[in-house]
Copies of this chain bind each other. A is one copy, B any other.
Amino acid sequence: MSLKIAVIGLGYVGLPLANALSKNFQVFGFDENKKRIKDLKLGIDTNKEIQLKDKKIHFSNKLDDIKSCNIYILTVPTPVNKNKIPDLRIIKKALKNIATIIKKKDIVVLESTVYPGFTSEIAAPILEKYSNLKFNKDFFCGYSPERINPGDKKYKLENIKKIVSGSNVLTTRKIKKIYGSIIKAGIHVSESIEIAEAAKVIENTQRDLNIALINELKIIFDKMGLSTTKILKAASTKWNFLNFQPGLVGGHCIGVDPYYLTYKANKIGVKPKVILAGRKLNNSMGNYFANNFLNFFKKHKIFKKKKKF
């Protein structure tokens, strides 16, 4: 049977993936955003990640257009809400939509960041409920976390090693084959979907915490009147010192992924102190840098006093 792949969600993850896959497979690109689909049909990627020249991908915002596919890859956003709780509405809605079109033997692969257990505990039941098909008997699931660093010119989809996992051996093998045909850096087959989910969520958590440490050091050294830059430069001459810089943690993943992990941890009764201490500090750095900036201006009298008349 020939593979027809639908990529659901055509952002900075989905579009490069659809583009790469389209060299080897028949690929459908789905996004609910009409404007995005219209642009993509004209060959325009407003994210400027991809050159869409040969128009091999069938772009659409209609579910009907992708119902003939047998592989569905979800690359939709999984943000947090203002209380830093995972906001799963987009991915749940996407799963519900896919459920209405999947058929026997289809495979649904998630690429979005989720907490360990999400695919089997939440995604599969949604797919079962709205498809009237049985998970791991009629349809199958996989998890292959995206590792895209938007705007990164060095590390792109093809040269970042990819983790794949599936709900059974045959599914894992199929998913491995699909990604293996486009990823030059190689494939790591994970022992289970949960392990792949956990691996994804800790990658940015580690990065977040390391930046938090450097931010905390900056606060201490600022107060002491010492240059953090010079201190880091000196420390970096040790072979195993890790080169992180103070700064704001924004972006789609680094500041968000840790909350997916801590949400799940709290649910199972573990209160993650270290991860949350790092998150809290990084969240406060916006104010810290803004205040530093204002103090600098005040000190150098860059704000002129208003003349009194």
Contact = CB atoms under 8 A, between A and B. Distances in A.
Interface of A: 116-117, 147, 155, 160-161, 163, 188, 190-191, 194-196, 198-200, 202-203, 205-207, 209-210, 212-213, 216-217, 219-221, 223-224, 226-227, 230-232, 234-235, 237-242, 261, 264-265, 268-270, 272-275, 277-278, 280-281
Count of identical protomers in the assembly: 2
Query: Which secondary structure characterizes the binding site on chain A?
Result: helix
A145 to B, nearest CB: 9
Given A163-B234, A195-B234, A205-B213, 19 more contacts: A161-B237, A188-B234, A190-B234, A195-B227, A195-B231, A196-B234, A198-B226, A198-B231, A199-B234, A199-B235, A206-B241, A216-B272, A220-B264, A220-B270, A223-B265, A223-B268, A224-B264, A273-B280, A277-B278
Closest 10 CB pairs of A and B: A199-B234, A277-B277, A199-B235, A188-B237, A161-B237, A198-B231, A220-B265, A216-B274, A274-B277, A273-B277
A205 to B, nearest CB: 7
19 contacts: A116-B226, A160-B238, A160-B239, A190-B230, A191-B230, A195-B226, A195-B227, A195-B234, A199-B235, A202-B231, A203-B238, A203-B241, A206-B235, A206-B241, A219-B270, A220-B268, A223-B268, A224-B268, A242-B242
